[in-house]
Amino acid sequence: MNGVLAILGLALALSPRPLTIADYFKLQNVSEPALSPDGEWVAYTVTRRNLERDENESRIWMVPAAGGDAIPMTAEGSSASRPRFSPDGAYLAFLSARGDDEAQVFTLNRHGGEAVPRTKVEQGVSSYAWSPDGSRLVLVVRDPEPTRDDEKTKRKPPPWVIDRLQFKQNYVGYLDHRRTHVYVQGLDGAPPRQITTGDFDDSEPSWSPDGGRVVFVSNRSRNPDANYNTDIWIVSVDTGELTRISTNPGEDLSPTFSPDGSTIAYVTTDPDALVYTTYHLAVAPASGGPTRVLTASIDRHVSSPKFSTDGRHIYFVMQDAGHQPLVRVPAGPRENDLEVERLLEKAVDGFDLGAGGRVAAVASSHQLPPEVFVDGEQRTFTNEALLSELELATVEKTRFESEDGTVIEAYLVKPPHFDAARRYPTILRLHGGPVSQYDERFHFEAQLFAANGYVVVLPNPRGSSGYGQAFSRAIWQGWGEKDYEDVMAAVDHAIAFGYADSERLGVGGWSYGGMLTNHVITKTDRFRAAITGASATLYVANYGHDEYQRWWEGELGLPWEPSSRELWEKLSPFNRVADVVTPTLIVGGEKDWNVPILNSEQLYQALRRLGRTTELVVYPGEYHGFSAPSHLEDLFERYLAWYGKYVKGESEGGVSP
């Protein structure tokens, strides 16, 4: 009998189990792949969320490109990021903030030894790149704070003096005229030399193959705070002479030189579409001249372009109808339609190219958190042990028609051991942006809800990216209208499938997903519970209080002008707040300047005054995206408790403060 019990116990121990909140802090996030010049090794970053110490830590690892055991390159105790091999492959550079210092560039001999600091910039380094010959670094550095005398340093901080149109930014706070500029520094210990100047922010530097020039991104218009007009520029490293490459009045970004130095590839946008633009791949002569937009015919978002080492192709990540593959196109002129070659059909978040056409990428899928892939083959297995314990949800992609006949797509996340004969409590989870998309990546929140017995509906309504610019721009001056119809159609589709219980529905989202949640609960009483995170509700209250003055004015107009104010008020769900009957949990970060907590406070105050079931939870020190592991744990617990109480009708509800 004891033997039978032992076998049963072993079987239970080996049986996959549902995912839990605790697993979020066991999962490790893989990112930032970097190939060695010979293509033999891939360096990458692994981030752990340490709940016990309530902090996040990132380390650099390295794995053979051909497969094999991964090797830790940096020690525990200090975070490191942005690994980059030296051109000769002998050293690995990275950014790290050690002790009380700001982030600096360190180098580490690839075969072992201690990391050596290569920069000593008081205000820290935000980005860097090796020169082609490995003798220098290009740096992005923000201007230092003004010095103060010893007596004044004993006092309270001085006031912020504001004289900019764009005066606030999430994670930064109030803005002054300290700007980010491009510097060059040798490895001989000499201080860095500034090569760009002016009251402009410069970013994304990349070296020319001969090491004599650096291409970068900057908005050097008359009033940069009033527009999105970033352009591509080249600066001579020796003379500081500038050459303007792009003249598009919209956003241009992510420049890179071709291997022969003759051409710049970059990402360009349509200025008239504002945030709803499609990001296209463009090329232009490095000496200046007309731009060719290569991807106009495919009408899909592109990002992170890189030339192949032979210069014949340009690789990039593409958003495409709920997918985010790595693709490439020919770099030269063409006579026929653009040929897009899809190389890795997963949700790709970063990639690098090496010798012989080798490609390393970090990618994920519905049941696989991000891992390193080389030439399409998985090379890291960072979360393999944990995943072997879990019974994950299955995910189904589906298409349906919205109210006006527009075809919409969604992912349906089904609980483990899904029974098609049952109808499940269902959560409509809305993505932010709004110009974003759900794709086939690993989605912890959806997996967590499914593990707790919910079907989860992840729709890509109009406004989403990945379906073309017209699809994104369909919500122009109409937030909460067509996209509301689309997400409600997604719920009806899940009900028609037989998956969703129409009497047990919940809704929620973050950022624009929270804003759309606010529209949902002011227009329908079909949901038993709502969770709105980092959302806006009375839009005029945001003007001059958040970081989006350019967006507000560009789409809704100046709020004091009567013709514009009518639109502001029409779109604001706050003006329909008396119609809300759904129990609503409202959450946000204290320091969020993206969608400030003011909006959540106003929604809470109104619902509380109306006597509705509501609760406001504000997380100290958090911005638009939360970072503290303890806060994330608390947030997930509140999600499950709120939906459990009001959607499932469980007796246990709420989380103790």
Most confident of 112-116, 271-275, 478-482: 478-482
The CATH number that applies at residue 578 is 3.40.50.1820
Whether residue 474 lies inside any domain: the answer is yes
Q: Are 178 and 109 in contact (CB under 8 A)?
A: no
**pTM given for the model:** 0.93
Tokens 């809800």 -> residue = 449
pLDDT at 233 over 70: yes
Element (H, E) at 328: strand 326-330
pLDDT digits (tens, 9 = 90+) for 371-396: 999 999 999 999 999 999 999 999 99
Report the SS3 class of residue 233: strand
φ/ψ of residue 71, rounded to 5: -120, 125
pLDDT at 471 over 60: yes
CA distance linking residue 485 with residue 462, whole number of Å: 9
Q: Give the mean pLDDT of 494-500.
A: 96
CA distance linking residue 137 with residue 193, whole number of Å: 10
653/363: higher pLDDT:
363
- Output the pLDDT for position 4: 41
pLDDT digits (tens, 9 = 90+) for 538-552: 999 999 999 999 999
- Output the pLDDT for position 149: 57
Whether residue 432 lies inside any domain: the answer is yes
9-22 in b/e form (b: 16+ CB < 10 A) is: eeeeeeeeebbebe
Q: Give the DSSP letter of residue 133.
A: T
| 139 closest CA partner among 104, 168, 108, 176 | 104
**What 3 state SS string does 260-320 have?**
CCCEEEEEECCHHHHHHCCCEEEEEECCCCCCEECCCCCCCCEEEEEECCCCCEEEEEECC
**Structural domain tally of the chain?**
1
Question: What is the pLDDT confidence band of residue 366, given thresholds at 50, 70 and 90?
Answer: very high
Whether residue 44 lies inside any domain: the answer is no
pLDDT digits (tens, 9 = 90+) for 12-63: 456 899 999 999 999 999 999 999 999 999 999 999 999 999 999 999 999 9
Question: What is the pLDDT confidence band of residue 175, given thresholds at 50, 70 and 90?
Answer: confident
pLDDT at 6 over 50: no
- Output the pLDDT for position 333: 76
pLDDT digits (tens, 9 = 90+) for 403-451: 999 999 999 999 999 999 999 999 999 999 999 999 999 999 999 999 9
Neighbours of 370 (CB within 10 A): 28
Whether residue 518 lies inside any domain: the answer is yes
Element (H, E) at 169: strand 168-169
User: What is the share, in percent, of the chain residues with pLDDT greater than 90?
Assistant: 86
- Output the pLDDT for position 78: 85
Whether residue 415 lies inside any domain: the answer is yes
Mean pLDDT of all residues belonging to the chain: 93
pLDDT at 652 over 70: no
CA distance linking residue 353 with residue 479, whole number of Å: 40
Calculate the CA dihedral of residues 304, 310, 311, 316 and round it to 10 degrees: -20
Question: What is the pLDDT confidence band of residue 153, given thresholds at 50, 70 and 90?
Answer: low
Q: Give the DSSP letter of residue 390.
A: B
pLDDT digits (tens, 9 = 90+) for 310-345: 999 999 999 999 999 999 999 987 767 788 999 999
- Output the pLDDT for position 294: 94
Give strand pairing partners of 507: 428, 530
Give strand pairing partners of 592: none
Neighbours of 582 (CB within 10 A): 25
Q: Give the mean pLDDT of 345-360.
A: 94
CA distance linking residue 251 with residue 228, whole number of Å: 6
For residue 603, the enclosing domain spans: 391-537+572-646
CA distance linking residue 624 with residue 514, whole number of Å: 12
- Output the pLDDT for position 654: 42
CA distance linking residue 598 with residue 613, whole number of Å: 19
pLDDT at 653 over 70: no
- Output the pLDDT for position 165: 83
Between helix 444-451 and helix 629-646 the angle, nearest 10°, is 40
Q: Are 58 and 78 in contact (CB under 8 A)?
A: no
Whether residue 349 lies inside any domain: the answer is no
Give strand pairing partners of 57: 48
pLDDT at 3 over 70: no
| 359 closest CA partner among 388, 397, 386, 328 | 328
pLDDT at 533 over 80: yes
147/327: higher pLDDT:
327
Whether residue 472 lies inside any domain: the answer is yes
Q: Are 526 and 505 in contact (CB under 8 A)?
A: yes
- Output the pLDDT for position 382: 97
Q: Are 267 and 256 in contact (CB under 8 A)?
A: no
Element (H, E) at 471: helix 469-472
CA 598 remoteness from chain centre: 23
pLDDT at 100 over 60: yes
| 30 closest CA partner among 438, 388, 383 | 383
Question: What is the pLDDT confidence band of residue 162, given thresholds at 50, 70 and 90?
Answer: confident
Q: Are 226 and 150 in contact (CB under 8 A)?
A: no
CA distance linking residue 471 with residue 317, whole number of Å: 20
pLDDT at 275 over 90: yes
pLDDT at 349 over 80: yes
Q: Give the mean pLDDT of 121-149.
A: 91
Whether residue 455 lies inside any domain: the answer is yes
